[in-house]
Amino acid sequence: MKHLLATDGLDPAFATAVLDTAEELKHTLLGREVRKLPTLRGRTVITLFYENSTRTRVSFEIAGKWMSADVINVSASSSSVNKGESLRDTALTLAAAGADCVIIRHPASGAAQRLSGWLAEAGTAVVNAGDGTHEHPTQALLDAATLRERLGSFEGRRIGIVGDVLHSRVARSNIHLLSALGAEVVLVAPPTLLPAGVESLPVTVSHELDAELPALDAVMMLRVQAERMHGGFFPSAREYSIAYGLNERRMKLLPEHAVVLHPGPMLRGMEIASAVADSPASAITEQVRNGVHVRMAVLYHLLASEGAAA
Ligand code: ASP
């Protein structure tokens, strides 16, 4: 059984195959009135979300539906989880009911990995749609798809990841994927928002955004994850924004070809100014669009390609 749990240790050949399939799917569906392929007909995909989501949940649902899978959405707030059911029992119930794939978002780091162990016997594939502060692999894949589309290749490209790296599963997944694909990753953050052990990651670290911008091919702004902060990580929102926000003045420091990314949800005026988010350099809407094709490609490689479980 194949799963997609993390980009740390993910085979770059598999990641490239997903990006290639996503690109192919995008071209196949472009301009079509009926965006429906029969590939996953008869397959059941369940999204199981214990945390809020707009983009990820919707794009997995659309991805499954465009591949003709039956997609069912379960959110913790409206399921038996609210009655005290454990994650294991919920997962085994979904597998027994016929799930071929469970896409899980959970506040605990490692939840997707645990789930894959419990569901191994049932032969149900697991996709990690964000586990705590650990990983969000499909976000990194859709970011990579967007960067490849805009920049052509990863080799020798310098990508800045800016802001709340400490609490960001998006940052962690991107660090591993982008470096495995050949890009150089620079983390730009205040010391309080960098994870312990950052020296062991394949990155360089800076605290000075202005100094880094002229040499970046892309800059990925992160949301300040207030819901995961239990203490003062910076003096005030205003000071954070002054030091690490991407405003119009800063955008002018970037090379002309540079791409601006944000995984969403954006805090406009905090980590990114509206004028930047809505500028031609911004690929934020394109990230969402590519998210659907990348998630279709992931479902294809886990459930339908040669070697996937029959
Ligand atoms: N949507 C992304 C996530 O779920 C990023 C964020 O929430 O800031 O990790």
Interval 74-133: pLDDT, tens: 988 877 777 888 999 999 999 999 999 999 999 999 999 999 999 999 999 999 999 999
Closest by CA position to 220, among listed 207, 209, 229: 209
How remote is the CA of residue 306 from the centroid of ligand 1, in Å? 32
Q: In this predicted structure, what is the pLDDT of residue 308?
A: 57
Neighbouring-strand partners of residue 162: 188, 221
pTM score, two decimals? 0.96
For ligand 1, whether the C-beta of 163 sits within 6 Å is: no
Binding annotation: 55-56, 83, 105, 136, 139, 169, 223, 264-265
Binding annotation for L-aspartate: 83, 169, 223
Pick one of 3.40.50.1370, 2.40.50.140, 3.30.450.90, 3.40.50.2300 as the CATH number of 12-135+288-303.
Answer: 3.40.50.1370
Average pLDDT over residues 20-24: 98
Q: In this predicted structure, what is the pLDDT of residue 310?
A: 40
Interval 38-60: pLDDT, tens: 999 999 999 999 998 999 999 99
What is the per-residue DSSP string for 88-118?
HHHHHHHHHTT-SEEEEEESSTTHHHHHHHH
Binning pLDDT at 50, 70 and 90, where does residue 266 land? very high
Residues 6+ apart with CB under 8 A from 252: none
Q: In this predicted structure, what is the pLDDT of residue 83?
A: 80
Give percent above pLDDT 90 in the chain: 87
Interval 191-205: pLDDT, tens: 999 999 999 999 999
Judge whether residue 306 has pLDDT over 80. Answer: no
Phi first, then psi: what are they for 238, rounded to 5°? -65, -45
Interval 194-238: pLDDT, tens: 999 999 999 999 999 999 999 999 999 999 988 887 777 887 888
Pick one of 3.40.50.1370, 3.40.50.300, 3.40.50.1970, 3.90.550.10 as the CATH number of 137-283.
Answer: 3.40.50.1370
**Ligand 1 atom at shortest distance from the alpha carbon of 56:** 1
Q: In this predicted structure, what is the pLDDT of residue 185?
A: 98
**Ligand 1 atom at shortest distance from the alpha carbon of 55:** 1
Binding annotation for carbamoyl phosphate: 55-56, 105, 136, 139, 264-265
Q: In this predicted structure, what is the pLDDT of residue 232?
A: 79
Q: In this predicted structure, what is the pLDDT of residue 1?
A: 52
Residues 6+ apart with CB under 8 A from 274: 268
Q: Where in the chain is the domain with CATH 3.40.50.1370?
A: 12-135+288-303, 137-283
Q: In this predicted structure, what is the pLDDT of residue 309?
A: 45
**Ligand 1 atom at shortest distance from the alpha carbon of 263:** 5
